[in-house]
Amino acid sequence: MLAEAVVFASGRPALLFPEALSEVRLDHVAVAWDASRVAARALADARPLLKRASAVTVVMITDEKPLSTVAGEKLAGHLRELGLPARLQTFRLGERSVAEALQDNAAAIGANVLMMGGFGHSRLRDFVLGGATEGVLADLKMPVLLSH
């Protein structure tokens, strides 16, 4: 509840850390990308973090909703044009939730922070169907930069 309040009320991105984190490194950023408004907002808010990163991986889950990887390829190319070491990595959900897939795959590629847009759907929809943001907040496995 506190994390939700910070994300909604601050008007700024929130960098959240799991309680059991032993070391803080923010040099490989996984950018959760679905070409949505909140993802674009989070990307803009994360610029200072991205500029300091030694690796940036645009991550897309391709079987959760209809997404073209072209958007991810264009974003990775744009980030490279800005001088950032960016690449695209696509994943499938399998039997996992979006929240699990994002964090698990970010960790599997060596990312140590996940950047994502938060609360992109209505509160009612998220209450009824659940949402990626709620899932990540319920089981924070790595540092996450959330922006709304």
Give per-residue pLDDT as tens, 48-106.
Answer: 999 999 999 999 998 877 778 899 999 999 999 999 999 999 998 888 888 999 999 99
CATH number for position 100? 3.40.50.620
Which of 52-61, 119-128, 132-141 is predicted least confidently? 119-128
Query: Per the domain annotation, does 6 fall within a domain?
Result: no
Q: Which residues pair with 31 in a beta bridge?
A: 58, 115
Overall pTM > 0.85: no
Query: Per the domain annotation, does 38 fall within a domain?
Result: yes
Query: Per the domain annotation, does 99 fall within a domain?
Result: yes
Domain containing 66 equals: 25-147
Q: What domain count does the chain have?
A: 1
Query: Per the domain annotation, does 48 fall within a domain?
Result: yes
Please say if the pLDDT value at position 127 is more than 50: no
Q: How confident is the model at residue 124 (pLDDT cuts 50, 70, 90)?
A: very low
CA distances from 19 to 16, 23, 92, 108 (A): 9, 11, 28, 20
